[in-house]
Amino acid sequence: MSTFSAPKGTYDLLPPDSATFLAVREAISAPLKRSGYGYVETPGFEQVELFSRGVGESTDIVTKEMYTLTTKGGDQLALRPEGTASVLRAALQANLHKAGVLPVKLWYSGSYYRYERPQAGRYRHFSQVGAEAIGAEDPALDAELIILAVDAYTSLGLSNFRLLLNSLGDKVCRPVYRAALQDFLRALDLDEETRRRIEINPLRVLDDKREAVQKQLAGAPLIADHLCEACKAYHEQVRELLTAAGVRYEDDPKLVRGLDYYTRTTFEFVHDGLGSQSAVGGGGRYDGLSEMIGGPALPSVGWALGVDRTVLALKAEGIELELPPATQVFAVPLGEEARRVLFATVTELRRAGIAADFAFGGKGLKNAMKSANRSGARFAVIAGERDLTEGVVQLKNLESGEQIPVALDTVVAELQAKLA
C-alpha cells in the first residue's frame, strides 16, 4: 500500500467502475455532437477574478468553496469551480463570436473543484459534461438544450428524474422584484451573514437550504408575479416548445440555483432517489455574463450535468449499462515461439477492431487461463510448439468450454465471424 492516499473529498476512478463513467460521458455528449456543438477544453485553473465577477462575489462558491492559490509570480489563480465562465472566456479570447455564425455552440467535459463538506454525491472534485450556446437570444435555444439533456438521461435508461423550471426575469423586471424581495427579507429573523446577502443578492436567500430559513420564506414574493411582458412571453415560448417535444416539467417559482449570472430561463434536474443531494444537473440563460467579464453583449444559455450524480442515479434505479467488453479474446502462448506468433496475432486482432489481450510475464497454462477467465474474454487463443508445427492454434470458447483447432492464418477471420 502507498504512503499516500487521495485527498479528502476526492476519489480515484478505476476499472471496472471507470467504464460506467466513460459511458455516461459519452451518452451525455452524444446528443450534443448531433446538434452542432463542438468540443472545447479549458485550463483547470483561471484568474480568480473571472469567477468572482462571473459566478458572483455573494455566492458560496466564491466566498467559501473556491480553491485559490498564488503563483511564484504573484498571480491569483483558482481551480475552476464551474465551467461556464471558463468556456465563455475561451470563446471571447479566440473571437469565436466574430466568426459570423451565432450562436457559437460548444460542449466540454472535465473535473471541477469546490471545498465542500464531503458526503455521498458531493465531492471536492467532481466531473461534469457541459454545453453552452453563446450569442443568441432565442427561446428555441433554451428549449433545445433542455431537450438534449432530457434525451441524454433517457438514453441511459433513467426515468425517475424531474425537470424544475423557472424564469428569473431580466434587467427590466429583476430590479423591481429585487426591491420587493429585499423589503420582505429585511423583516425576517436572519443571521448577519444572510442579512449581508440580502443587500448583495437577495435571490440567493431563496436558495438557502436551512429549514429555519425556508420556514420564514413561506410568504416571500415570487419572481413569476413580477416578470415584465417580454419575459413572460419568452418563458411561455420555452414552455410551449418543451411541451410540444413531450418534455414534462414542473414550474418552481423559488428555483434560483447557486450562481449570480442567470437571467430568464433557469432549470434543474433532480432525482428523488439521491436524498438531500438530489440535483443531477442544471443550467439556464446568462445574458449579461459576457459583459461582466469584459466582453461584448452576448446573450447565452447553457447547462452542466454531473457525471458522478448521474452514475448515482443509475444505481438508485438499479440500471446496469451495457458496456463494450474490455477484452474479447485472450491469447495464451506456451513457449517462446508461441509468444512471438501469438503476440503478432493479438496485434492483428486489435487492428481488426477486436479487443484482445495477452498473457504477459511468461505464465504457465494454468495461471494464464485464470487470467483469461478474469479478463471477461469470450475466447482464448492457445498455442504450443506442436500447434505451430501443424499450422494451427486452439480456439477455446470460455463460456461453453468447447475447444477446436483453427488454422493460424484464418483465426482472425474466424473470430470476427464468431464475435459478430
210 is in an annotated binding site: no
Residue 262: which CATH number?
3.30.930.10
One domain for residues 68 and 142 = yes
Residue 115 included in any domain: yes
Domain assignment present for 41: yes
Q: What pLDDT sits at residue 32?
A: 98
Please list, in sequence order, all residues whose beta carbon lies within 8 angstroms of the beta carbon of residue 172, skipping any fewer than 6 positions away: 228, 230, 231
CA dihedral 109, 111, 112, 116 (to 10 degrees): 140
Coil, strand or helix at 111: strand
Residue stretches of the chain with pLDDT short of 50: none
- Structure pTM? 0.90
Is 385 a domain residue?
yes
Q: Which three cell numbers stand for residue 66?
A: 473556491
Domain end residue (candidates: 316, 341, 356): 316
From the DSSP assignment, how many helices (H) and strands (E) are in the chain? 16, 16
Give the model confidence (pLDDT) of 360-418 as tens digits.
998 889 999 999 999 999 999 999 999 999 999 999 999 999 999 999 999 999 999 99
The beta strand positions in 208-262, using DSSP E, are 250-251
Whether residues 168 and 242 fall in one domain: yes
Distance of CA 74 to the CA centre of its chain: 33
200 domain residue, yes or no:
no
- Is 113 annotated among the ligand-binding residues? no
Tell whether 384 and 280 lie within a shared domain.
Answer: no
> Quick one: 261 and 386 in the same domain?
no
pLDDT of residue 394: 96
The structural domain count of the chain equals 2
CA 24 to chain CA mean position, Å = 8
Q: Does 114 count as an annotated binding residue?
A: yes
What CATH number does the domain containing 377 carry?
A: 3.40.50.800
Residues 277, 339 within the same domain: no
Give CA–CA dist 396/394, Å, rounded.
6
User: Are 343 and 333 in contact, with CB atoms under 8 Å apart?
Assistant: yes
3-state SS, residue 402: coil
Is 208 inside any structural domain? no
119 marked among binding-site residues? no
Mean pLDDT of the chain: 92
* Distance separating alpha carbons of residues 267 and 260, to the nearest angstrom: 14
- For residue 197, being part of any structural domain is answered with no
Model pLDDT, residue 420: 87
Do the bridges between strand 76-79 and strand 263-271 make them parallel or antiparallel, or are there none, so unpaired? unpaired
161 lies in the same domain as 38: yes
Question: 410 among the known binding-site residues?
Answer: no
Q: Which pLDDT score is estimated for 1?
A: 66
Cis amide leading into 103 (omega within 30): yes
Answer yes or no: is 68 a known binding residue.
no
Predicted pLDDT of residue 58? 58
Distance CA 340, CA 322 (A): 34
Which residue range is the domain that position 34 belongs to?
Answer: 17-173+227-316
Please indicate if the annotation marks 46 as binding a ligand: no
